[in-house]
Amino acid sequence: MVQETLGEFEQLALLAVVRLSNLGYGAAIQQELERTANRSVSIATIYVTLVRLEKRGLAASWLSDPTPVPGGKSRRFFRVTPEGAAALNAARAVMNRMWTGLEGRDLSARPGRVGVNTPFA
């Protein structure tokens, strides 16, 4: 069975939730992404991504009790499911395999002349 891969932002969002001890909500996830990934994204983008991951079974959410202030609102908290953790581990394994053997290599080096019709010739 071929497992659907996670996109970069999906990975970042799930990892932010994990970093928040599986108690992530919009603003906390946003702050974690800014702090650790140097990514500035809207809360709407975070929620759209996490709801999509929830539909795929990779995240789960629940609503908290309203905050104890007049007009207090509930927060939607997210956690990574076992399937989400497996998807993160699979994505990491793929990237590790791709990087293996490239340590110290100049990633911008151009190939030598191989043939007339090669794109880098």
**110 located within any domain:** no
**100 located within any domain:** no
pLDDT, one tens digit per residue, over 1-56 is 446 789 999 999 999 999 999 989 999 999 999 999 999 999 999 999 999 999 99
**108 located within any domain:** no
**24 located within any domain:** yes
Which CATH number goes with the domain that contains 82? 1.10.10.10
Enter the pTM of the model: 0.82
Per-residue model confidence (pLDDT) at position 66: 79
**121 located within any domain:** no
Q: Is the pLDDT of residue 118 over 70?
A: no
Per-residue model confidence (pLDDT) at position 70: 81
Could you tell me the sign of the dihedral formed by the alpha carbons of 34, 39, 40, 44, in that order? negative
pLDDT, one tens digit per residue, over 57-106 is 999 999 988 777 887 788 999 999 999 999 999 999 999 999 898 888 88
Q: How far apart are CA 11 and CA 30, in angstroms?
A: 14
**111 located within any domain:** no
**38 located within any domain:** yes
**99 located within any domain:** no
What's the total number of domains in the chain?
Answer: 1
Per-residue model confidence (pLDDT) at position 2: 45
Domain that holds residue 87: 8-93
Cβ atoms 12, 80 nearer than 8 A? no
Of the candidates 48, 46, 78, which has an alpha carbon nearest to the alpha carbon of residue 62?
78
Per-residue model confidence (pLDDT) at position 110: 74
Q: How far apart are CA 105 and CA 121, in angstroms?
A: 21
